[in-house]
């Protein structure tokens, strides 16, 4: 299956999130591995557990859990992308772990294929940002967990620092071309309105409220804000990267809202900044874990 035949979720996760650049993919994975490890550590996994990874994506957390649950445990990978489930099944077969994996097509807010009180652990990573009814998702997590079961998740808090200051674009100072940057920024804001889009209309306090309302008694949350210096990156990679499945790449956005002359001027200014690195961006995120009594 070639990328053009995949659904938008698989296209993004397997290509568009890193612009098709293997080095950028490795940089992304190096960023995600510690997140995976913390999510799994907070889940307090035991040998023999059944773990449900909701929105499994490319299997980062699910496959990472296999060693911890041991040969008697099982991992269930659920996702709304059949293409990603097929991708994960192929990986499981290639690594000889398919007998300990189950693949289920289901949304986070509707896990009806999974029986009540049938799993020991529920994990998610950057999944609830795509879910409109987050409370229903937490209610489903609670339903499928056995008594004593644990939930562990990671979510970016994207409304922090969004939109960027008028003089900034992707962490770089673009004041000399602010008139052009504003047009691209406006397109992104139109596609993802701050108070309406599921990726932006919640914060860490909402996560705590959702998990409490679902019925989890023991609840923990860690909130992080990190300022990161942007490393030098290839312009071709950055311009072909989409920062989430529902958004255009920078190249696509420029083609949509800029004239050829504006594009030429914007690229001429921004490309050297991207390639030399040094811009700064703020990232906020939350780890949440809880126990069903």
Cα 180 to Cα 26, 31, 82, 189, 233: the distances in Å are 32, 31, 39, 15, 22
**Which residues in the chain belong to E strands, given as ranges?**
50-54, 74-79, 101-105, 119-125, 145-156, 168-169, 172-173, 218-229, 280-291
| pLDDT for 2 | 38
Contacts of 291 (CB under 8 A, 6+ apart): 148, 149, 150, 216, 217, 218
Cα 200 to Cα 53, 66, 122, 156, 158: the distances in Å are 23, 32, 23, 9, 5
Structure tokens at 214: 């679902």
Structure tokens at 21: 């650049």
Structure tokens at 17: 């999130």
Residue 58 pLDDT class (50, 70, 90 cuts): very high
Q: Does the pLDDT of residue 4 top 90, yes or no?
A: no
Beta bridge partners of 222: 287
Topology of the domain covering 1-157+202-225+283-293: Rossmann fold (3.40.50)
Mean pLDDT of the chain: 95
pLDDT in tens, 93-113: 999 999 999 999 999 999 999
The residue to which tokens 């990978």 are assigned: 77
Closest CA to 39 of 292, 244, 285: 285
Helix (H, G, I), strand (E, B) or coil at 174: coil
Q: What percent of the chain has pLDDT over 70?
A: 98
Angle at 123 between CA 119 and CA 126, to 5 degrees: 150
End-to-end Cα separation, the chain, in angstroms: 44
**Sequence spans of domains, the chain:** 1-157+202-225+283-293, 158-194+232-277
Contact 19, 240 (CB under 8 A): yes
Structure tokens at 283: 């990232």
Mean pLDDT calculated for residue range 79-98? 97
pLDDT in tens, 142-183: 999 999 999 999 999 999 988 888 899 999 999 999 999 999
Contact 234, 30 (CB under 8 A): no
| pLDDT for 278 | 87
C-alpha to C-alpha distance for 45 and 58, rounded to whole angstroms? 20
| pLDDT for 233 | 94
CA 19 centroid distance within chain? 16
What is this structure's pTM?
0.93
Contact 260, 203 (CB under 8 A): no
| pLDDT for 32 | 96
| Strand pairing category for 145-156 and 119-125 | parallel
C-alpha to C-alpha distance for 183 and 229, rounded to whole angstroms? 25
């Amino acid at each position: 299956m070639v990328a053009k035949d995949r659904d938008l979720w698989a296209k993004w996760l397997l290509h568009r999130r890193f612009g098709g650049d293997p080095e950028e993919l490795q940089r992304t994975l190096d960023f995600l591995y510690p997140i995976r490890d913390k999510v799994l550590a907070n889940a307090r996994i035991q040998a023999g557990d059944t773990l449900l990874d909701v929105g499994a994506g490319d299997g980062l957390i699910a496959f990472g859990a296999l060693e911890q649950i041991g040969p008697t445990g099982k991992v269930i990978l659920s996702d709304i992308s059949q293409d990603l489930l097929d991708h994960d099944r192929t990986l499981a077969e290639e690594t000889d772990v398919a007998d300990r994996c189950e693949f289920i097509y289901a949304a986070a807010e509707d896990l009806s294929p999974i029986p009540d009180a049938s799993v020991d652990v529920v994990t998610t990573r950057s999944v609830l940002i795509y879910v409109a009814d987050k409370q229903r998702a937490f209610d489903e997590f609670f339903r499928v967990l056995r008594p004593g079961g644990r939930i562990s998740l990671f979510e970016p808090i994207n409304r922090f620092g969004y939109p960027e200051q008028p003089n900034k674009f992707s962490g770089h100072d673009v004041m000399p071309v602010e008139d052009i940057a504003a047009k691209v920024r406006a397109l992104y804001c139109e596609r993802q309105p701050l108070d309406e889009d599921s990726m932006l209309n919640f914060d860490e306090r909402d996560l705590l409220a959702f998990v409490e309302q679902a019925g989890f008694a023991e609840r923990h949350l860690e909130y992080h804000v990190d300022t990161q210096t942007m490393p030098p990156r290839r312009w071709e990679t950055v311009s072909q990267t989409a920062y989430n499945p529902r958004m255009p790449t920078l190249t696509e956005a420029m083609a949509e809202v800029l004239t050829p002359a504006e594009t030429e001027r914007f690229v001429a200014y921004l490309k050297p900044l991207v390639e030399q690195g040094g811009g700064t961006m703020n990232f906020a995120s939350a780890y949440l874990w809880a126990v069903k009594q």
